[in-house]
Amino acid sequence: MRKDYNLEKRKYVIGGFLILIAIIYVVRLYELQIADNRYKEYADINAFLNKTQYPSRGLIYDRNGKLIVYNQPAYDVMMIPRDVKELDTLDFCHTLNLTPDQLRKRLSDMKDKRMNPGYSSYTPQRLISHLSAEDYGRLQEKLYRYPGFFIQKRILRQYAHKTAANVLGNIREVSSNDISRDPYYQSGDYCGDLGVEKSYEQYLRGEKGVEILIRDAHGRIKGRYDNGSKDVAPVSGRNLKLSLDLDLQQYAESLMVNKIGAVVAIEPSTGEILALVSSPTYDPTLLVGRQRGANYAALVNDHEKPLFDRALMGAYPPGSTFKPGQGLILLQENIVNLSTAYPCHHGFISGGLRVGCHSHGSPINLKPALQTSCNAYFCWGFKALVDKRSKYGNPAKAFEVWKNHLVSLGYGYRLGVDLPSEGRGFIPNAKFYNKIYGEGRWSANTIISVSIGQGEILATPLQIANLCATIANRGWFITPHVVKEIEDTVMPSELLEKRIPTIEAHHFNDVAEGMRMAVTGGTCRLANLPDIEVCGKTGTAQNPHGRDHSAFIGFAPYHDPKIAVCVYVENAGFGATFGVPIGSLVIEKYLTGSISPQRKYLEQRMLESNTKIYSGVKKH
């Protein structure tokens, strides 16, 4: 009988095919039972409910231990979609004051993976956030009627005082970007947004815990797994003690009502910010609860921009508050000494260029120039520096020397305050002017306005206050910061280190004396207090868009400084009109705790005055 080789081959092919199928099944079973945890997770979800336990967020106090921000419980309605078999929609809606259409919309949004990227019918999903106390009570009584639903306790912020909103910030629901950046977060979590809530988020948020509950075949909760031995308790966030003086912050805010601008007060020896006011401000409670979204949109659209932190982000021409820094540079570069005098015939006149000034003695040297805020003196000094080719070679190199001194004094770059969104202001360099005028085609006369804090010069109120603190310290500063202590944690070292400018320390004594003279018999006489030696400098910053800005820097006491202040009021006119009164009242309030009867009239005038009428901001 002849052997059929084709049948023999077919037998091997079929056998190989069966072996291949067996291998595929073995591999797949290995993946399902050992390598792939998804089916185990689904089985665990059927048997267990892992309920997140949110930690208490760290509390926030002022420097004197007064509570500013604390927590209140909030409740979200959660559901596991696959466990919701039957639902009495009308009863459920009645319990939570919803219409059926609102419920359908919420369910639809929940299942939309563009709006809710973490959606899974097996895992808890948030249906309603921030239940009112009444809704929570009604739902708690009826919860047994709604299988697949449970209540998740969360934490919301509450404010003991409606102040310092720009410093405190707020919390908001995390975005998909937050979740991708930090595995701590899951959809529906909250994180800090703006202020210290954002910059100290990792300290404030704490660590989440978990409660493991057993479920029966119908998804009903039957109790805690293993009597709770496998539960993980949440760890509360760390408390913060701010450097702010709550009373001073509230007082400074009251002085800035109906004004646009900023007040910054610093303790010179520590860099701790005592008050950080941006005006207009807003009530921090607006950004809590169900109405947060609507209130936030209203604040964003407000024509006065209350969310814009003018103290940190406002870029203003510093005007004559810039002159003390100028004096330091001229002394350091040996352009002037204390006897050097420049003429002022109602201003600076050079090569057909004129910068106006007011009436005072002439010629004049440095200390009286600070006392009277002489424009001509600082224009002549700047011209002598920039045009001194024998020392610097050309104006561009001289200008770079000038600019680098300013940077060392804290201008032109972010200081590094422990708050988000700090601005850097603007100090031009030689390349900036080469681009505008051409290399070698400009001199001091071309850019003379920068010598008096005008032209292209821009600074934030924080930077201007920091210069004042540096002068108060006679030649050093510590990075300004708003957090004084973190519970059980050492403060970041970069916030505590001394920073030394490129100006020799002995020059600061001369500038401080000139600022003292400005208070005793110059442009800052309204800041003169009977028992406190105040040093100050006015600033009237020209504004191409309207009325001039009113500015002031000052520190006190002269020989043992406890506070340095910058006040900047937009469109308020001369520095002596609003800057000096507000600054001196802030100094007096902090150092004495009250305002003397002789100065109550000044306080009342500042409290009642309205400079918004000059702002030029059109209301919509």
Is residue 540 in a domain?
yes
CA distance 396 to 408: 19
Q: Is 279 helix (H, G, I), strand (E, B) or coil?
A: strand
Is residue 14 in a domain?
no
Is residue 587 in a domain?
yes
- Exposure string for 324-353, b = 16+ CB within 10 A, e = fewer: bbbbbbbbebebbeeebbbebeebbebeee
For position 615, what pLDDT does the model report?
72
Query: Does 371 have pLDDT greater than 80?
Result: yes
Lowest mean pLDDT among 1-10, 540-549, 606-615: 1-10
Is residue 377 in a domain?
no
pLDDT grade for 186, boundaries at 50, 70 and 90: confident
Is residue 91 in a domain?
no
Q: In 3D, which of 319, 355, 338 has the Cα closest to residue 537?
A: 319
For position 618, what pLDDT does the model report?
45
For position 546, what pLDDT does the model report?
81
Give the chain's domain count.
Answer: 1
| Burial (0-12, 13-18, 19+ Cβ within 10 Å), 527 | buried
For position 312, what pLDDT does the model report?
97
DSSP conformation class of 174: P
- Exposure string for 595-606, b = 16+ CB within 10 A, e = fewer: beeebeebbeeb
Q: In 3D, which of 539, 513, 536 has the Cα closest to residue 526?
A: 536
Lowest mean pLDDT among 147-151, 458-462, 559-563, 592-596: 147-151
For position 284, what pLDDT does the model report?
95
What domain range includes position 546? 524-550+567-606
CA distance 269 to 276: 17
For position 11, what pLDDT does the model report?
67
Which residues, including other chains, have CB under 8 Å from residue 186's CB and lie 6 or more apart?
Answer: 52, 118, 174, 179
CA distance 503 to 405: 7
Contact 564, 251 (CB under 8 A): no
For the whole model, what pTM was predicted? 0.88
Query: Does 43 have pLDDT greater than 70?
Result: no
Query: Does 328 have pLDDT greater than 90?
Result: yes
Is residue 243 in a domain?
no
DSSP conformation class of 33: I
| Helix H or strand E encompassing 483 | strand 483-486
Please compute the mean of the pLDDT values over residues 316-343 and round it to a whole number: 97
Give the length of the chain.
620
For position 619, what pLDDT does the model report?
42
Mean per-residue pLDDT of the chain:
90
Q: In 3D, which of 551, 550, 546, 567 has the Cα closest to residue 615?
A: 546
Comparing 360 with 569, the larger pLDDT belongs to 569
SS3 content of the chain, % helix, strand, coil (to 5): 40, 20, 40
Is residue 601 in a domain?
yes
Q: What distances in angstroms separate CA 513 from CA 70, 191, 553, one per listed residue?
A: 45, 48, 14
Is residue 421 in a domain?
no
| Burial (0-12, 13-18, 19+ Cβ within 10 Å), 376 | buried
Lowest mean pLDDT among 147-161, 377-391, 412-426: 147-161
For position 153, what pLDDT does the model report?
84
pLDDT grade for 241, boundaries at 50, 70 and 90: very high
DSSP-assigned states of every residue in 420-482: TT----B---HHHHHHHH-TT---TGGGGGGGGT-TT-BB-HHHHHHHHHHHHTTS-EE--BS
